[in-house]
């Protein structure tokens, strides 16, 4: 694997030995020189030079997230606004290194009875980075967020830079088939680390990659009788759907709000006063805005779907994603990143439903209802029942997964429903945006999947005490003004408005 470079001090990277279930071995350990030069980038390694074996089996989580394209647009975006310009040459070099560390990012998804990831032998890192001139309009970012990322025909990752005279905005886009939102944050940290110091990768690339399925998490529970979530009866509900006609999200737009840093302390104080969490308050605000928009009849129990990161069980705690390496000074070791990548660049999140009662008028009562509903799930191994269900399909039952998705789609069309979704990803660590000490970061946030209308998916992330809320929607069926007003309503229901 060669890159044209300074030959005075060549670096070396170790190829990977990838171990997946059933003892498939895809890599053999060998050393090869990686030459780096800050000014010359006429030649970058292709995937064939990386010696990535042809096929990597896709675990059922990847298969589900690819198949769910029938119900939603499965791309996710990590947006970083810099106060300055990135060095595109250094970014290309960093992309080359991330392909060496995570070869899956240079593959495409192949549908089969047992789907797999297949390397794209002609891939060049320059295929993954594009610079776009910025006009200063909000439409610039809207255009980038709407760009396609089809993992069946191209790599499941892309990097787009919006550039004006003084500043860059980097948008890292991935497809959910290859990783979840927490994996995206970790990948950004890896990219930032390789950009900041290419020598970090010298001789420290992990020699193996673990099983990317959920079996490692499920193994933490009793093998004979895993303890699932409490199964609660879900009464039939009618009329619980966002007021928009059914359609597709092939044409997408995005409503985005970043709250001032003074707002988060108010939200935290209110959560403490209610004996709740920040997530409980976000759930209550989302529920309240939905009630305002839908006007459901009172006395119903209605569903909201939430995501949960199962890495909490790998951490031996209930606190969510393992923190990305790095301290207050943004210092990061590649060894720490490599270990974290091995556990986290995968689909290790699932979804579950909470039921909330309609007809509650006071915000205090809605917060109490949200807190109580979440507490029930927190005390019963949240997400494990969903993980057992997904993992039960195995590696070679893609037709069964497609049938499950078809049934879900038919049910949604028949009933005219699409359960609202909330994904609160939490705090973005500094390491995920630390590309250079000389490149300050103004803001960073994630933009998540887009459900087919009338579905609504709210994504929430927090960076440096600035909380960002975003909703993607099918722009051909939902007017922009309607979605902007809906997001404003959610914000007004959060404390400190």
Which residues lie below 8 Å from residue 187, measured CB to CB, with a gap of 6+? 98, 102, 105, 157, 172, 174, 179, 341, 345
| Inside any domain, residue 465 | yes
Based on the fold, state whether residues 373 and 273 are members of the same structural domain.
yes
The enclosing domain of 484 has a CATH number of 3.30.559.30
Report how many domains make up the chain: 2
DSSP state of 324: P
| Inside any domain, residue 41 | no
Mean pLDDT per segment of 10 residues, for the chain of length 497 residues? 26 24 24 27 38 76 95 96 97 91 91 94 90 91 94 96 96 97 94 86 50 84 50 59 86 96 97 98 98 94 94 62 36 50 82 94 97 91 89 93 92 80 96 96 97 94 97 93 98 94
| Inside any domain, residue 28 | no
Based on the fold, state whether residues 248 and 144 are members of the same structural domain.
no
CA 426 – CA 424 distance, rounded (Å): 6
Q: Are 65 and 347 in contact (CB under 8 A)?
A: yes
Q: Which of 146, 181, 204 is the last residue of a domain?
A: 204
The enclosing domain of 161 has a CATH number of 3.30.559.10
Q: What is the pLDDT of residue 21?
A: 26
What is the DSSP secondary-structure string of 58-91? PPHHHHHHHHGGGTEE-EEEEEEEESS---HHHH
Based on the fold, state whether residues 121 and 239 are members of the same structural domain.
no
Q: What is the pLDDT of residue 368?
A: 98
CA 38 – CA 55 distance, rounded (Å): 33
Kind of pairing between the strands at 421-427 and 301-309: parallel
Q: Are 354 and 303 in contact (CB under 8 A)?
A: yes
| Inside any domain, residue 2 | no
Structure tokens at 374: 């979440």
| Inside any domain, residue 301 | yes
List, in sequence order, every beta strand (DSSP E) within 146-282: 157-163, 168-175, 208-209, 252-258
CA 51 – CA 2 distance, rounded (Å): 12
CA 78 – CA 66 distance, rounded (Å): 19
Q: Are 457 and 96 in contact (CB under 8 A)?
A: no
| Inside any domain, residue 158 | yes
| Inside any domain, residue 269 | yes
User: Per the confidence metrics, is the pTM higher than 0.75?
Assistant: yes
Q: Which of 298, 96, 111 is nearest to 201 (CA)?
A: 96
**Residue keyed to tokens 């949960």:** 308
Q: Which of 140, 196, 126, 148 is nearest to 168 (CA)?
A: 140
DSSP state of 1: -
Using a 10 angstrom Cβ sphere, with 0-12 exposed, 13-18 middle and 19 or more buried, the burial of residue 287 is buried
Inter-CA distances, 342 with 109, 183, 311, 339, 350, Å = 20, 10, 12, 5, 19
Q: Are 491 and 264 in contact (CB under 8 A)?
A: no
Based on the fold, state whether residues 325 and 441 are members of the same structural domain.
yes
Residue 120 lies in domain: 55-204
Inter-CA distances, 40 with 48, 84, 163, Å = 21, 22, 22
Structure tokens at 10: 């060549």
User: Can you state the percent helix, strand and coil of the chain, rounding each to 5?
Assistant: 35, 25, 45
Q: What is the pLDDT of residue 406?
A: 93
Based on the fold, state whether residues 193 and 261 are members of the same structural domain.
no
Based on the fold, state whether residues 245 and 199 are members of the same structural domain.
no
Q: Which of 139, 170, 204 is the last residue of a domain?
A: 204
**Residue keyed to tokens 């990161």:** 309
Based on the fold, state whether residues 342 and 437 are members of the same structural domain.
yes
Q: Are 209 and 345 in contact (CB under 8 A)?
A: no
CA 489 – CA 206 distance, rounded (Å): 47
Q: Which of 175, 204, 233 is the last residue of a domain?
A: 204
| Inside any domain, residue 196 | yes
CA 9 – CA 35 distance, rounded (Å): 8
């Amino acid at each position: 694997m060669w890159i044209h470079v300074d030959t005075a001090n060549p670096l070396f990277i170790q190829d990977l030995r990838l171990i997946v279930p059933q003892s498939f071995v895809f890599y053999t350990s060998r050393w090869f020189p990686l030459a780096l030069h800050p000014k010359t980038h006429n030649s970058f390694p292709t995937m064939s030079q990386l010696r990535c074996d042809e096929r990597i089996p896709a675990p059922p989580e990847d298969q589900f997230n690819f198949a769910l394209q029938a119900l939603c647009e499965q791309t996710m975006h990590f947006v970083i606004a810099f106060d300055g310009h990135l060095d595109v040459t250094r970014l290309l070099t960093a992309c080359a290194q991330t392909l060496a560390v995570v070869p899956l990012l240079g593959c495409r998804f192949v549908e089969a009875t047992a789907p797999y990831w297949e390397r794209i032998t002609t891939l060049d890192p320059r295929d993954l980075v594009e610079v776009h001139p910025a006009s200063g309009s909000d439409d610039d970012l809207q255009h980038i967020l709407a760009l396609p990322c089809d993992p069946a025909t191209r790599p499941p990752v892309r990097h787009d830079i919006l550039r004006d005279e003084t500043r860059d905005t980097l948008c890292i886009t991935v497809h959910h088939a290859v990783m979840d939102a927490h994996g995206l944050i970790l990948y950004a940290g890896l990219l930032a680390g390789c950009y900041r110091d290419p020598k970090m990768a010298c001789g420290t690339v992990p020699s193996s990659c673990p099983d990317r399925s959920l079996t490692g998490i499920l193994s933490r529970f009793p093998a004979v009788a895993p303890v699932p979530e409490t199964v609660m009866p879900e009464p039939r509900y009618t009329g619980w759907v966002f007021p928009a006609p059914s359609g597709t999200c092939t044409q997408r737009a995005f409503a985005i709000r970043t709250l001032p840093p003074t707002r988060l302390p108010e939200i935290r104080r209110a959560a403490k006063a209610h004996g709740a969490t920040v997530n409980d308050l976000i759930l209550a605000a989302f529920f309240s805005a939905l009630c305002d928009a839908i006007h459901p009849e009172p006395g119903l129990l209605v569903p909201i779907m939430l995501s949960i990161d199962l890495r909490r069980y790998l951490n031996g705690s209930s606190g969510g994603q393992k923190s990305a390496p790095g301290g207050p000074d943004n210092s990061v070791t590649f060894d720490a990143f490599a270990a974290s990548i091995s556990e986290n660049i995968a689909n290790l999140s699932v979804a579950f439903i909470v039921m909330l009662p309609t007809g509650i008028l006071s915000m205090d009562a809605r917060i109490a209802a949200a807190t109580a509903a979440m507490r029930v799930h927190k005390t019963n191994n949240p997400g494990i029942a969903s993980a057992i269900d997904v993992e039960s399909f195995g590696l070679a039952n893609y037709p069964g997964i497609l049938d499950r998705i078809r049934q879900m789609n038919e049910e949604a069309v028949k009933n005219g429903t699409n359960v609202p979704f909330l994904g609160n990803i939490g705090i973005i660590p500094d390491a995920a945006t630390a590309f250079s000490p000389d490149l300050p970061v103004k803001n960073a946030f994630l933009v998540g999947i887009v459900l087919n209308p009338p579905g609504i998916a709210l994504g929430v992330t927090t960076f440096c005490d600035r909380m960002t809320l975003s909703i993607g929607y099918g722009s051909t069926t939902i007017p922009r003004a309607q979605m902007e007003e809906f997001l404003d309503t959610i914000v007004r229901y959060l404390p400190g408005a």
